[in-house]
Structure formats: structure tokens, C-alpha cells
Amino acid sequence: MSRVLVTGAAGFIGSRFAELLLADAEQLGVSHITILDALTYSGRRENMVNVLSDDRVEFVHGSINDESLVDELMARHDQVVHLAAESHVDRSITGAAAFFVTNVLGTQTLLEAARRHGISKFVHVSTDEVYGSIPEGSWPEEHILEPNSPYSSSKAGSDLAALAYFKTYGLPVCVTRCSNNYGPRQYPEKVIPLFVTNLQDGFNVPLYGDGGNIRDWLHVDDHCRGILAVLRAGRPGEVYNIGGGTELTNRELTDKILSLCGVGDERITYVEDRLGHDRRYSVDWGKIHRELGYSPQVDFATGLADTVQWYRDNETWWRPLVTR
């Protein structure tokens, strides 16, 4: 039986991953899960309610940059799933330093402790944004990294550090790179919850540029199933793209949200485009499908409708986080 350290599991993706890991614990041979989270603005105790009631789960409030704490935790675990990160592009543009401190230096702190203590599997969770922008086709895992924002460049740095620890020290690292996530409990600075909560409060939705930027949408449950597949059977030293299979322009996404909220396009306010805004992301997830049997299971229309309804039904969750 193994003991798994999960970083960043008070956040959107991490908290859902912890729930699915716990549900699958017996099959995976997991006896204990420790959550390490600094509870920064997007990490919330409320997100962990479903897992912290289980006596197999322990929560530790702390930073991945705390070397002594990380060393102590690593000494009593067998596997690591590293989700802790600063992840909002807009915030990285106005304050890049925190992104490099957490995403690069924090990851290196974890990797070094994992190396010292002989961790048997280290899954480093990353993003498709490290590839840059692609006008057509889809990125394979071997594609050169061409990040264009402080956020994506900090994640690219952490990816390279993780892979270097495999190549230099033999640390059994896998890297996952996902497309745009959506689903319940996503912090309302991200586009889908931002637009839904704006509309619920009677405000317009701010659409960047011409609305033509394209993203591939991935439900958080599918993303977490992909991570679990890599934890279970991913080959050390390999990168696995995790995609959702639904490409939309931002305008197309906006129209779907407006329709679900029962309003028209008069509720769109076009705003100046974001600095360095990548035009299109698209990952080729054939590798994880072939090797590990992953395919997205959540139909986008159903997943989006359920997500919009979740924000309607859970105003007490998001209301304290919104400033107008």
C-alpha cells in the first residue's frame, strides 16, 4: 500500500483530483493521502470538505517552498502528485515574480526532496500553454516549448526541471499537460465562472479582442481521470497530453454561456486584448489514449450546462470571492 502526497489539493483541480483518488484508493493500493496546500487566494478549505471527513486523508497547511516541511512530508510518502501552482495568466502579467517562485522554485524543492527520499512516482501536472500558440494541427508531446506569458514560461521551467531530475538522477517523473479546464469550484477569475457570475449579478461579460482565440475544453473530471491513469501506469520520463476534444473560439464559448443563462449578445462587452494573448491551443492526446486508455468522457454541452447550474446553485461558495 502506498502513501500519496498531493500538493495544491485545496484548489479547483487538486480538490477534485483528491476526491477521485480517494474513491479509487483501494484499486490503486493507496492507504493514505496527504494534502499540502498554502491556502493562497484560490485554495479554500471549503473545497476539501468531501475528503477531509475521511480518516485516510490528512491536511497540512504549508508552502511547497518550505524546504524543511517538504522534506519531512516526503520522508513518509511513496508517491507525489504535484498540482500546486500559480495559474492565472492575467495575474502573471501584472505580478510575475510569485509565479516563478512557486512554479519553478517550489517544484524544484519538491523534486529535490523526492530524490533524497526515493519517491517511487512523481506526477508533475502542467499545461498546454507551455507550447505557445499553434495556427493549425495539434501539439505532440515532443513539440518545442514556446511559452508566451510569465505564467506559461514558469510552467515550462518547472516541466524542464522535472524532466531533468529524471534524466540526471533517475527520479521516476511523469509530466502531464492539459488543455483548458472547466467545472464546479473553479475560482471566478477564470472565464466560465467569471461570465456566469457576472450574468447572475446583472453585469456584462468582458470578451477579449475579437473573441477569435481558440481553446480546447476539458472537464475537470476528465483531467483528473487522465492524471490518475498516469499515476497508475505512466512511464517514467514521459510527457502525456490530456485533451478534451472540444475546440471553441472564445466567442462561441460566450454564446453558449449566454444561451444557458437566457440572455443575448447585448450582454457582451468587447475589451482590449490581453498582452501576449495566444491565438490557439490544441493538444494531440493520442499518446495517453494509446498507452493508458484515456479518452474524455464528459460531453461538453452537458458538462457546461451542469457547470453553469452549479454556480447558480452555489452562490454561497462564490459570493465571498467576487469583487465588482
Could you report the per-residue pLDDT of 273-283, keeping only the tens digit for each? 888 888 999 99
Sketch the domain layout of the chain as residue ranges.
2-181+218-242, 182-215+246-276+299-321
Q: How far apart are CA 76 and CA 58, in angstroms?
A: 12
CATH superfamily of 182-215+246-276+299-321: UDP-galactose 4-epimerase, domain 1 (3.90.25.10)
The residue from 19, 128, 216, 247 that is catalytic is 128
Residue 136 annotated in active site: no
Active site residue 112: no
The pTM assigned to this predicted structure is: 0.96
Predicted pLDDT of residue 209? 94
Q: What is the per-residue pLDDT across 40-91, written as a single tens digit (0 to 9) for each? A: 988 999 999 999 999 999 999 999 999 999 999 999 999 999 999 988 788 8
Q: Which residues contact 300 (CB under 8 A, 6 or more apart)?
A: 217, 219, 244, 246
Q: What is the mean pLDDT of the chain?
A: 96
How confident is the model over 12-21, as a mean pLDDT?
Answer: 98
Q: Does domain 2-181+218-242 have CATH number 3.40.50.720?
A: yes
182-215+246-276+299-321 shares the fold of 2-181+218-242 = no
Active site residue 46: no
What would the pLDDT profile of 120-134 be if each residue is shown by its tens digit?
999 999 999 999 999
List of residues 6+ apart from 224 with CB closer than 8 A: 13, 16, 17, 20
Please tell me which residue in 86, 129, 159, 247 is annotated as part of the active site.
129
Selecting among 37, 78, 86, 151, the annotated active-site residue is 151
